[in-house]
C-alpha cells in the first residue's frame, strides 16, 4: 500500500540553519473532493478541480524531493476524499506510531489504511482510546510535543501521547473554527533535532490567553504571524530546520522567514485548501532517531 523509502540523517548546513533530511508519507488526491462539511473551510457547493488538485499535490511532492527528502506514497481509496491529508492518520516518534481516532465518521476508515502500512514493520502501532487526529493536533519538537484541543482532539489523547512517547506534552486550546487543527495555527520551523533550538511560528488569535502565555514561555523568540497570512493557511507549513515549505498565498511570511535565516519554498495548494488543508496536512513524517 505504501512505496517505502528509508529515511536518512543527511545534514545540509547553512551559516544560520541546518536542514535535516526527512521521510514523509503522502497520498495522491485521486479521489479528493468536498462532499461534506466538517470544518469551516468546506463547502460542498463549491466545485473541486481534481486535475488542479493533483497538479498542486505533485508540486508539493516535487518540492520535498528537490530538497532531498524521501517521500512514500499511501494508496488512495475510493470513498475517502480526505485521505490526501495524511498528517491526520498518525503521530510517529522513534519507531512508535500513535494511531488516529477520527472525530467524524466520514474519515474513520482512514485509520485502517494507515494501520495496514504500519503492520509492515515501519513502526509499532498503538491504538488510541481517545479521539485524536494525528499530526493535525500533535506537533513534535525535541523540547516537547505541542498538542491541540477544542475542535477535534480530546485532552485525554494528550495524556496518552505523553505516556506513550515519554515527552512533555503542552496542551493548547484552539478557539477559532478556522484553525480547527493545531497545524493550521502553528508551524514548526525547526524541531531542534540538529540545532537543539526548536523554533515555531504561530497565530496568537487562534489560542486562549493561557495558550498564548504557554507558547511565549516555551518559545520566547517565536514568530508571531498576522491574521492575513494565517487566514490563507500560511502556518500549515513544513520546516526541516532550514527550508520552510508554505503556501504561496502567505507571501507576508517570506521576509520574516528569511530574516530568521530560513529558506522559504512557496507552493500553491489553493485547491486542497477548499477542504481546509495545505502542505502540512498533506504530509505525515516518519520520525526515527537521528544519527549524529
Residue of 69, 114, 181, 263 marked catalytic: 181
- Cβ proximity of 99 and 114 under 8 Å: yes
Half-sphere exposure of residue 19, counting CA atoms within 13 Å on the CB side?
A: 21
Return the sign of the alpha-carbon dihedral for residues 242, 247, 251, 252.
Answer: negative
The full DSSP string for 70-103 is: EEEEEPP-TT-TTTT-GGGGEEEETTEEEE-B-S
282 is annotated as an active-site residue: no
Residue of 23, 158, 263, 281 marked catalytic: 281
Check residue 120 and report its DSSP letter. I
263 is annotated as an active-site residue: no
At 57, give phi and psi (nearest 5°): -65, -45
SS3 22: coil
- d(Cα 174, Cα 124) in Å, to the nearest integer? 30
At 260, give phi and psi (nearest 5°): -90, 0
**Exposed/middle/buried for residue 73 (C-beta within 10 Å: 0-12, 13-18, 19+):** middle
Sequence-ordered list of residues with C-beta below 8 angstroms from that of 10, at least 6 positions apart, any chain? 20, 21, 68
Beta bridge partners of 98: 91, 126
Residue where the block lists cell 519507531: 95
- d(Cα 205, Cα 226) in Å, to the nearest integer? 9
Catalytically active residues, by annotation: 181, 281
Amino acid at each position: 500500500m505504501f512505496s517505502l523509502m528509508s529515511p536518512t540523517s543527511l545534514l545540509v548546513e547553512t551559516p544560520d540553519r541546518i536542514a535535516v533530511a526527512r521521510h514523509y508519507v503522502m497520498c495522491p488526491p485521486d479521489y479528493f473532493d468536498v462532499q461534506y462539511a466538517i470544518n469551516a473551510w468546506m463547502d460542498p457547493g463549491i466545485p473541486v478541480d481534481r486535475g488542479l488538485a493533483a497538479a498542486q499535490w505533485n508540486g508539493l511532492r516535487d518540492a520535498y524531493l528537490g530538497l532531498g527528502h524521501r517521500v512514500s506514497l499511501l494508496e488512495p481509496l475510493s470513498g475517502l476524499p480526505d485521505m490526501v491529508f495524511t498528517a491526520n492518520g498518525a503521530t510517529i516518534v522513534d519507531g512508535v506510531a500513535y494511531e488516529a481516532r477520527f472525530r467524524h465518521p466520514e474519515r474513520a476508515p482512514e485509520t485502517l489504511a494507515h494501520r495496514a502500512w504500519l503492520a509492515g514493520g515501519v513502526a509499532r502501532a498503538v491504538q488510541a482510546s481517545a479521539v485524536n487526529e494525528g499530526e493535525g493536533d500533535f506537533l513534535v519538537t525535541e523540547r516537547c510535543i505541542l498538542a491541540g484541543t477544542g475542535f477535534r482532539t480530546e485532552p485525554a489523547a494528550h495524556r496518552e501521547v505523553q505516556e506513550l512517547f515519554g515527552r512533555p506534552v503542552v496542551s493548547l486550546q484552539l478557539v477559532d473554527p478556522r484553525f480547527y487543527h493545531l497545524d493550521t495555527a502553528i508551524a514548526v520551523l525547526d524541531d531542534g533535532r540538529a540545532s537543539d533550538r526548536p523554533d515555531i511560528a504561530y497565530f496568537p488569535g487562534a489560542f486562549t490567553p493561557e495558550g498564548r502565555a504557554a507558547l511565549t514561555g516555551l518559545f520566547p523568540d517565536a514568530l508571531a504571524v498576522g491574521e492575513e497570512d494565517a487566514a490563507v493557511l500560511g502556518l500549515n507549513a513544513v520546516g526541516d530546520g532550514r527550508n520552510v515549505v508554505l503556501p504561496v498565498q502567505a507571501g507576508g511570511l517570506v521576509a520574516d522567514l528569511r530574516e530568521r535565516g530560513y529558506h522559504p519554498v512557496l507552493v500553491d495548494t489553493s485547491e486542497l485548501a477548499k477542504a481546509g488543508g495545505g502542505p502540512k496536512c498533506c504530509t505525515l513524517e516518519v520520525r526515527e532517531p537521528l544519527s549524529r
